[in-house]
Structure 1
């Protein structure tokens, strides 16, 4: 192994451990009425992608269409996404973020995001928050390539 291989492996291990800890803590912290991590992730992906199908969303999130169907059903039940017929293929439905869904993503009503924001404010310097902000899209890109 060369130095880059060693760095890649140690970085991958550190990210794996850190993400695992964040996942465990966020699962423990979800309160009634809050979006779960899969719901929040799917809602954010729909917003980034624009209108999309359940199958495309499942591919992007790297889960089965059945699992995504369950997540989307919950988002629909809460009025956070809407379905419309695909104009190119009437057998398919396109998902879009509703006004309420956009509000849920951007209004700061997500208690878990609020708790994370407080933790960032209390325990991290401005420079550290900037590093985490820069790393977030890179972590998402890493997830897409795994």
Structure 2
């Protein structure tokens, strides 16, 4: 392994560990404790991208269609999503987030942002360090969006 390979590997390891730990801490921040991480992810997808078919939701979340169907059933029972028949093809059904679902996503994101902002403030980062974190987050988004 060359020095560049070592640096790449060490960076990947450090980034994975830090990202995993941060994500785990942020997942604790929820608007409602009865909405699981998996169900929150479905709601967040629907809020961000609009109505989708179950197959499309399953593909986005990398789960099976039957697994997604179970999640949608639970979310519909809780009044967080509704099923909307397609106007073009009555056999096709779309899943749409309700106002209550939007409120949960919005409140959860707000709580998570506030928790992270509190943690950053507690550490008393300099303006330069905060800019470095913003630049790092942009680089992390490039990795995720590839």
Q: TM-score under structure 2 normalisation?
A: 0.68
User: 2:139 and 2:34 mapped to 1: Cα distance?
Assistant: 23
Partner of 1:77: 77
Q: How many residues align?
A: 144
Q: Judge conservation of contact 2:26–2:115 (CA < 8 Å) in 1.
A: no
Partner of 1:54: 54
Higher Rg: 2
Moved more, 118-127 or 27-36: 27-36
Deviation at 1:59, TM superposition (A): 0.8
Partner of 1:66: 66
Distance 1:13 1:84 in 2: 44
For each residue in 1:116-142, what CA deviation from the matched residue of structure 2 results, as whole angstroms up to 9, or x when unmatched? Answer: 454344336365388359727944x64
Match of 2:101 in 1: 101
- Go from structure 1 to structure 2 and tell me whether the alpha carbon gap of 1:137 and 1:93 turns closer, same or farther (over 3 Å shift): farther
Unaligned runs of at least 5 residues, structure 2? none
Q: Which position in structure 2 is the counterpart of 1:13?
A: 13
Rounded Cα–Cα distance in structure 2 between residues aligned with 1:137 and 1:47:
24
TM-score normalized by the length of structure 1: 0.68
CA offset at residue 85 of structure 1?
A: 0.5
Kindly state the Cα deviation for residue 105 of structure 1 after the two structures are TM-superposed: 1.3
- In the superposition, relative to structure 1, how do residues 39 and 87 fare at CA in structure 2: closer, same or farther (>3 Å)? same
Structure 1 portions without partners, runs of 5+: none
Higher relative contact order (CA 8 A, sep 6+): 2
- Residue equivalent to 1:43: 43
In structure 1, what is the equivalent of residue 133 of structure 2?
131
Instruction: State the shift of 1:79 in Å.
Output: 1.3
